[in-house]
Structure 1
Amino acid sequence: MTVTLADVAARARVSPATVSRVLNGNYPVAESTRERVLRAVADLDYVLNGPASSLAAAASDLVGVLVNDIADPFFGILASAAQTAIGSGASGRGGGEKLAVVCNTGGSPERELTYLTLLQQQRAAAVILMGGSLEDPRRLAATAAKLSRLAAAGTRVVLCGRPPVEGDAHTAALVFDHRTGARRLTEHLLGLGHRRIGYVAGPAGRTTTRHRLEGHREALAAAGVAEGPTVHGPYERAAGQAAAAELLARDPGLTAVVACNDTVALGVRAALGERGLDVPGDVSVAGFDDLPSALDAVPALTTVRLPLHEAGARAGRLATASEEPPPGGLATVPAELVVRGSTGRPRR
């Protein structure tokens, strides 16, 4: 029996209009109500049936690209490369390009699930999920169930920079080797003689944050060096400035700071400069990702390079089936240490 909007409304104990608002995202809805509606949608496997036959014909030309923050250069590079590959790698039913739609989740698992539901309703040809995810078992289970339903309906699911979890259904997963990159970065600082190293981590509870922090800690443990102070915060420049102040307050004798990404590292550098500290003379600073801004800093930023453009383009090709999936559906994207002028031997 076909599940209707009214069935979802009854299951969630809300009005059909509220269900429509949640699915369309065009009206503010209380978070508890949104979660109840999305749970009902998932439980009932509700898919909107478009009345026009043209909808089904057009649906196969749609590819959804989900990112945490399109304003973040990390996601901008990935999404741009994927969109280009999607447009040039395969043609739609009418002979034209496939349509890539970039969906900005803001890092919200609820918004991510809403977009996946909307793409399911539109019978998207493929979806690409970019970047790490929130490590919440209940939310991960809901997302895994949605991806399984999408895959069962013929939608290709590609993970780019996002590790698969149990229950995930995907055509291919391109997993960034954050741990190895972070370990090599910290090993570089240890090799220069640093023993008091602060760390600015990303938001707690996210896969990318955990993997990079684990690599950092592995290097310290292997060298027998005690872990320095760690501060968590958003992947933003202002967070780096605030974190640097806190790190120095907790250990004024720090000789190096590792930042969770290049944008945060630039904030750390700014805070050090405001305090009259030289980089790398007084404090070495390192980032992650190798964004274009890493080269513009003076001195240029030591970082870990992820091949973002190449990974995004490959995700686009996998989404349009213009490239065969890797063996086992899983490929590790390597990280490369890039040493520049922002790190040096400690003076103290």
Structure 2
Amino acid sequence: MAVTLAEVAVRAGVSPATVSRVLNGGYPVAGGTRTRVERAVEELGYVANASARALAAATSDLVGILVHDIADAWFGILGGSLQGALDPAGEGEARRLSVVCNTQGAPAAENSYLALLEGQRVGGVVLTGAAAEDPEHTAALTARITRMAASGTRVVLCGRPPLQVPAALPVATLVFDDRGGAFRLAEHLLALGHRRIAHIAGPPGLSATRERLAGHREALRRHDPALPEACAALTVHAASERSAGYDAARELLRRGEPFTAVAAAGDTVAAGVAAALREAGLRIPEDVSVAGFDDLPFSQDTAPALTTVRLPLREAGVLAAQLVTGRRALPPGGITTLPTELMVRGSTAPPPTARRAP
């Protein structure tokens, strides 16, 4: 038979209300009293009824974290940082239970998990990764997030564009400067002397793909208005796996269009690109420069080390945790743009023709 809160109160020699205060956190309780209650809870094996607590309050202490693929290093770093930062910041703060939902980037799965979390009166939700740019899905997502936020759920959108929700609702958006990062990477390749720059973009229909491709093309256009068209045949869309980068590079080689540099949508994709180029007998960077995006940990350990664009994934995770727990106030307008940083390493160099020039 389940132990009741009243039984814990008798064992600790306090009132049931005091036990409730200790378990819920956020209320001042003397240290000695808190210790007696916690000891009684442990000795009796008391388990709080989360469902009853959720019904009594507007929301529960559950935080849902939606990722595309937890096995992907991008989401693993961000999600791990976020989950670690959810730990109580002080003695009076309650511990939160987090659940990671793997959507594989599918809008239907995203909707289904949000519906389940809404049914649990979840206290907070963090949606990570690029958003599917489908008007019907965006409308449905906006309606659900608006409803959840209005009932007290804190929502953080991390790495995706903001939704059109009422300004008064507890919804925050953390946006990576994908466009600026892609622009600076293309500028770097152009400054080295590259003009035939291949671009392996992410899957079509995703917000990050659109932003990075736009930044890449803008840098080409500013350097020479004819360059975007000249490099159009050197653009390939690919998924985020290493094998997708390998296949995309093989497709570029099959097309027979000359190129001296490859800007990949991610570091994992860039690793696949490098493997395909080496298999074809090409040296990096002597024959072809290769660059990535994200600055995942392994990018410094490749041979040569990978030039890439750093996304502040760990910092974003901490900030998302602070926002979803209410430790940090919502930013003005609800939106925070996180800067990207170009990391120049050994995988990029001037093209062969430039090195041979006197």
Q: State TM-score, norm by structure 1.
A: 0.82
Q: Amino acid of the residue matched to residue 106 of structure 2?
A: S
Q: CA RMSD in A?
A: 1.9
| Alpha-carbon separation, structure 2, partners of 1:91 and 1:219 | 50
> Which one of the candidate residues 277, 280, 283 is aligned to 1:278?
283
Does the 8 Å CA contact 1:130/1:162 hold for their aligned counterparts? yes
Q: CA deviation at 1:167?
A: 4.1
Map of 2:205 onto structure 1: 205
Map of 2:331 onto structure 1: 326
| Alpha-carbon separation, structure 1, partners of 2:123 and 2:138 | 22
1:125 aligns with 2:123: yes
Q: Amino acid of the residue matched to residue 121 of structure 2?
A: R
Question: Could you report, residue by residue, the CA deviation over 1:311-332 in whole angstroms, capped at 9, with x for unpaired residues?
Answer: 1110011100111221221110
- How many positions carry a matched residue from both structures? 297
Q: Amino acid of the residue matched to residue 165 of structure 1?
A: L
Structure 1 residues 238-317: aligned runs within 5 Å: 238-317=243-322
Question: Could you report, residue by residue, the CA deviation over 1:77-108 in whole angstroms, capped at 9, with x for unpaired residues?
Answer: 1111110111233779xx64111111111101
Q: Amino acid of the residue matched to residue 232 of structure 1?
A: H
Three-state SS of the structure 1 residue aligned to 2:86 is helix
Q: CA deviation at 1:288?
A: 0.2
Q: CA deviation at 1:242?
A: 0.4
Map of 1:138 onto structure 2: 136
Q: CA deviation at 1:216?
A: 0.4
Three-state SS of the structure 1 residue aligned to 2:290 is strand
Task: Give the direction of change, closer, same or farther, for the CA distance of 1:62–1:259 in structure 2 (3 Å limit).
Answer: same
Map of 1:215 onto structure 2: 215
Q: CA deviation at 1:60?
A: 2.0
Tell me the percent identity. 56
> Which one of the candidate residues 112, 116, 131 is aligned to 2:114?
116
| Alpha-carbon separation, structure 1, partners of 2:213 and 2:50 | 50
Q: CA deviation at 1:52?
A: 5.5
| Alpha-carbon separation, structure 1, partners of 2:320 and 2:303 | 33
Map of 2:155 onto structure 1: 157
| Alpha-carbon separation, structure 1, partners of 2:262 and 2:186 | 10
Does the 8 Å CA contact 2:54/2:60 hold for their aligned counterparts? no
Map of 2:240 onto structure 1: 235
Q: CA deviation at 1:334?
A: 0.3
| Alpha-carbon separation, structure 1, partners of 2:51 and 2:313 | 39
Three-state SS of the structure 1 residue aligned to 2:179 is helix
| Alpha-carbon separation, structure 1, partners of 2:352 and 2:335 | 44
Three-state SS of the structure 2 residue aligned to 1:88 is coil
Task: Give the direction of change, closer, same or farther, for the CA distance of 1:292–1:120 in structure 2 (3 Å limit).
Answer: same
1:347 aligns with 2:336: no
Question: Could you report, residue by residue, the CA deviation over 1:11-30 in whole angstroms, capped at 9, with x for unpaired residues?
Answer: xxxxxxxxxxxxxxxxxxxx
| Alpha-carbon separation, structure 2, partners of 1:91 and 1:65 | 24
| Alpha-carbon separation, structure 1, partners of 2:350 and 2:213 | 22
Q: Which runs of 5 or more residues in structure 2 are unaligned?
A: 1-48, 354-358
Structure 1 residues 84-95: aligned runs within 5 Å: 84-89=84-89
Q: State TM-score, norm by structure 2.
A: 0.79
Three-state SS of the structure 2 residue aligned to 1:312 is helix
The structure that has the greater radius of gyration is: 2
Three-state SS of the structure 2 residue aligned to 1:324 is coil
Map of 1:186 onto structure 2: 186
Q: CA deviation at 1:199?
A: 0.7
Q: Amino acid of the residue matched to residue 264 of structure 2?
A: A
| Alpha-carbon separation, structure 2, partners of 1:173 and 1:51 | 29
Q: Which runs of 5 or more residues in structure 1 are unaligned?
A: 1-49
| Alpha-carbon separation, structure 1, partners of 2:240 and 2:74 | 10
Does the 8 Å CA contact 1:147/1:170 hold for their aligned counterparts? no
| Alpha-carbon separation, structure 2, partners of 1:170 and 1:180 | 28
| Alpha-carbon separation, structure 1, partners of 2:213 and 2:89 | 36
Task: Give the direction of change, closer, same or farther, for the CA distance of 1:148–1:270 in structure 2 (3 Å limit).
Answer: same
